[in-house]
Amino acid sequence: MNTALYTIFQIIQIFAFIVLLLPTLYILIFAVAGLFYKQQSYPIQPTLRRIAVLIPGYKEDDVIIEVAKDALEQEYPHQKYDVVIIADSFQKETISRLRELPIKVIEVKFDKSTKSKALNKAMEQLPDEYDIAVVLDADNLMAADFLTKVNAAFEQRFMAVQGHRAAKNMDTHLAILDAVSEEINNHIFRKGHRVLGLSSAIIGSGMAFKYDFFKTMMLSVTAIGGFDKEIELKMLKEKHKIAYLDDALVYDEKVQKAEVFSNQRRRWLSAQLHYFRQDFGSSLKAFITQGNIDYFDKAIQFIQPPRILLLGAVILVSNLFILTNWFLNILSLSIILWLILQILCLLAFLFSIPGSFYNVGTLKAMASLPKGMLLMFGSLLKIKGANKQFIHTKHTVVKPPIN
């Protein structure tokens, strides 16, 4: 290889290595930290706060009745919480059946539906008698002690807490991979962050807020997609800490079809890119002038590649450079560095996956990992404008997991 080609190859290799090393080190640091997470103990006799369980849904006629019934089965005193179904474009029969239950039903309809519009409309009509707002998706099922643990957490004067969202179904390989992905994110962006003194990331459901704070904050939320990211940035910018309750479980439907997976990820990726562009400059300034690392860290999170793509890129790119270096009989140190990068990336994932997923079902699902990587890459190519349109994910699974 002549000198010019060698130099170009070196530059490309160094650039690729740095681009993959930085996000790998980021998730590895928090993956290791997450191993030391311990859930704080709850007060024995906390104040019993009034809770509004807000469940917005768009055309969720197939699941909403069972979800509403399940929400009424909490151990928390019934007179201390209300289940509020925010029904956007539901069938008349569904509305009638909902009104037979001891819940509040608020019908809404918009030219362009969004979760933020639905929540704002509901809180506009609800009385200001609540202390906590819990936000669920229309397919979510709460563990029986969820509200009890959320209520106790607010004894520590948090403005917001994120519950542990776990898989409700793992009936397909894609659903298993989605469940694993959720738990990896729980470990890195919630457990790991809390261990290092940073805020937990919120997800969009299974989360709770101080009611008056949430109602006021939501009035300024305009997001079509990724409303949870907008409120998260608002909170961190104001230096509010977000707690995480690992043992407060909310069960969430995992995607079963490739089309749903792609649409969902396209919406998420588009929102992340949008908010990175919007907030990176101000978060960097806040970090330098105010020491606001939480806000800056959130902006950095938004530019992180999806975990499944990072894993695929590290394996593919590192092996290509290892083979090229070996074939050209050059840069033996580079081969070692690429191997170390692969090991670090794999360790970050191994540390983050709960032991319950180390089973035959997960092993079989791994055969679908290349498909998941391709779907995610395809979603990445189609993210333009996805956060400016309402992309509805239809839910079908209503049964809770069998423990």
Going by the DSSP 8-state scheme, the letter that residue 292 receives in this structure is: -
Residue 13 in tokens: 């290799």
Residues 154 and 161 sit within 8 Å (Cβ to Cβ) = yes
Q: What is the rounded CA–CA span in Å between residue 273 and residue 42? A: 37
Tell me how far apart the alpha carbons of residues 80 and 49 are, in angstroms, rounded to a whole number: 7
Domains of the chain: 3-36+276-388 (no CATH), 51-257 (3.90.550.10)
Over its length of 403 residues, how does the chain's per-residue pLDDT go in tens digits? Answer: 678 888 898 899 999 999 999 999 999 999 999 999 998 888 888 999 999 999 999 988 989 999 999 999 999 999 999 999 999 989 999 999 999 999 999 999 888 888 899 999 999 999 999 999 999 999 999 999 999 999 999 998 899 999 999 998 888 888 888 899 899 999 999 999 999 999 999 998 999 999 999 999 999 887 776 788 889 999 999 999 999 999 999 999 876 665 555 666 666 667 777 778 888 999 999 999 999 999 999 999 988 888 888 898 999 999 999 999 888 877 688 899 999 999 999 999 999 999 999 998 888 888 777 776 676 666 655 666 545 555 555 556 556 565 5
What single letter denotes the amino acid at residue 402?
A: I
What's the pTM value of the predicted model, to 2 decimals?
A: 0.88
β-pairing, 51-58 vs 81-88, is: parallel
Distance of alpha carbon 104 from its chain centroid, rounded? 27
What's the CA gap between 324 and 296, in Å, rounded?
38
Q: If we measure between CA atoms, which residue out of 60, 167, 182, 161 comes closest to residue 399?
A: 167
Rounded to 5°, the CA angle 147-191-245 comes to 10
Helix then strand count (H, E) for the chain reads 15, 8
Name the nearest CA neighbour of 204 among 255, 158, 140: 140
C-beta atoms surrounding 389 within 10 Å = 12
